[in-house]
Chains A and B, each alone.
Chain A
Amino acid sequence: MPTITFIRADGRNERVEAEIGESAMRAAVVHGVDGIVAECGGSALCATCHVYVDDKWISRLAAVGDDEDALLDGTASERQTNSRLSCQITITLELDGLVLRLPERQV
């Protein structure tokens, strides 16, 4: 199974195993990663599963969609060029080792 590393705002890491085809958000919630709130449970509505994608990985992800783009304008922590919603990142074999940084706030 691909692994994802979540780096919290305080620098601590959590590595989780993700199922292929599930979202990075789902992997975080299943493993109880603090810092991913996911109020809407993956319906692409709430912008509370915001992550900053590690520079090395950003170009390997599918492009930001229009809905995600609009939602990212409403994140609680500042939007940056590498901001994504983790519910919109689908895990593939190629994403094994993905590194996602968590913002200070989700709400």
Chain B
Amino acid sequence: MNALSQQKSAIAGTAPAVRIRDLRKSYGALEVLKGVSLDAHDGEVVSILGSSGSGKSTMLRCVNMLETPTAGEVSIGGETIRMKQTRSGSLPADTRQVDRLRARIGMVFQGFNLWSHKTVLENVIEAPIYVQGRSRAECVEEARELLSKVGISSKAHDYPSRLSGGQQQRAAIARALAQRPHVMLFDEPTSALDPELVGEVLKVMRTLAQEGRTMLVVTHEMGFAQEVSNKVIFLHKGIVAEEGTPAEVFGATCSEHFRRFLAR
């Protein structure tokens, strides 16, 4: 199915869902990203691997401008985010463009980041109602479906603090899905979880991948990267050191760096 949708977009000549070109990011003198590029087509699952400090989260966070790149280009669905140069560095030229694009990019954070003063259901319907301007009744109905999809419909009226980490992360995934996103970004979604709770979150993510959703996943879960993704990229010291299908990257020809990374 993924291959099919990829083919379709190739035939139609549509732009990749996410396109990153020569992305650079510096914090002061420290250059975290030294020119990375990536194409994620519709329906593709791209896993971004790398040791801590390799710049993988920074790269992901540049896609929706939570981090502003120092240089380079990010396009979402063929629309390039316009940047301007200011004294304090490079910034998006049009915050409304960024907000509009963000509204259709679902993001799942390492620390869940659910809004703690809202119930699970309120978390899920917040952006659809107040950003996308959809009707409350419609959003509530869809939210209930999404919550049952991620297996926490009984928690709809609980506050996030009452949920386990795994449940919170699944709620966060439902919240991201409620935006009807074109692309979903996962920033180490299981890294803050107790080991026994990782499985339930990965299971939901596998389901989403099977549905043919476009996903960019920063992860340390090698099993997930190998089995679920269509494409794997390995970042090392701010550059793309490996790129290809899981079979290629995890195969026998992989680089010294990557082997050392896997051996850890």
A binds B: no
Q: Which residues of A contact B (CB under 8 A)?
A: none
Q: Which residues of B contact A (CB under 8 A)?
A: none
